[in-house]
Amino acid sequence: MAQETSGYLLKLGAGIGINTVIDVGSNAYLVIDPGPDGIYAKKIIETLSNSEKDIQTKRLVLVNTVARPEHVLANSSLSKKNTIIYATKITQANMKARCPNCRKRLAAQLENKQILSNPLKIPNSIIPSGSFLSEFPNWQVFEYAGRTESDLALWNSKTRTLYAGGLAYQNSILDLSDGDSISWLSAITQLLDLNPDIVIGVGYGKVKSSNQILWDTKNYLENLRNSARQDFLSGGDAASADKCCKLEQYNSRPGYQSRHSLNIQHVWREIEQEEMNK
């Protein structure tokens, strides 16, 4: 696993950290979520070359798990003309529609104008949920809706390693802006059923032999929904819900100040719609 540790990505927000998974085979190497730009991608290859001297002679296979710029805009910095880039159909479509604007926003956030000149490389191979990567058959993919409308998780049953991507937040408050809490909780339940030994998500911190970050994400979502429902049923309103749903046990986590109140508003509206539809 490759993790940015210099603080370059801190401008994206508190607790945001992209964890890239790399698997090296005899003739090819796999990169899951190559990151935001050429700076990140170059560092991956430089670091990898220290232990894999012949990495430049191997064929690259890329996987984009979600249409989020910090995960995928480094495609063009790593790939060649015939590089296979796997993604779901929804992620491919969303990247075609959103990448030009996402590139502008990311360049501004990271204060790196060079990102604007990077060509966009859209995934060229659709991979169905439940299938295995043909070049790396130990990795099976599962598509969920949760953090976004299409989130791809990769499962290696041989090593019992799960790449959960943005479905699992480590040591930080998750971002529900594009998500659905019920679908997200369903996805986490299914991932926990795999009984992984190692779970790699997003966020800073050393990855441990544990599935604790799945439980942490699940517990936060459940606590958030429970407090929002209680506030709704007691006659509260969305405008003041953040005063009743503080969940102060999480206030020391990165992202609490910037994202928690927005998550409250998001979930409160979900609860309101659910109750009205009963």
> What are the tokens at 164?
């959960």
Report pLDDT for 159.
97
CA angle in degrees (0–180, nearest 5) for 40-17-241: 145
Report pLDDT for 143.
98
> What are the tokens at 198?
């190692």
Report pLDDT for 206.
82
Report pLDDT for 26.
93
Q: How crowded is residue 185: how many other Cβ atoms within 10 Å of its Cβ?
A: 16
User: Which helix (H) or strand (E) element contains residue 165?
Assistant: strand 161-169
What pTM did the predictor assign? 0.94
In the block, tokens 């999480």 appear at: 250
Which residues of the chain fall below pLDDT 70?
Answer: none
Go through 52-88 and write b for each residue having 16 or more CB atoms within 10 A of its CB, e for each that does not: eeeeeeeebbbbbbbbbbbbbbbbbbbbeeebbbbbb
Partners of 23 in the β-ladder: 30
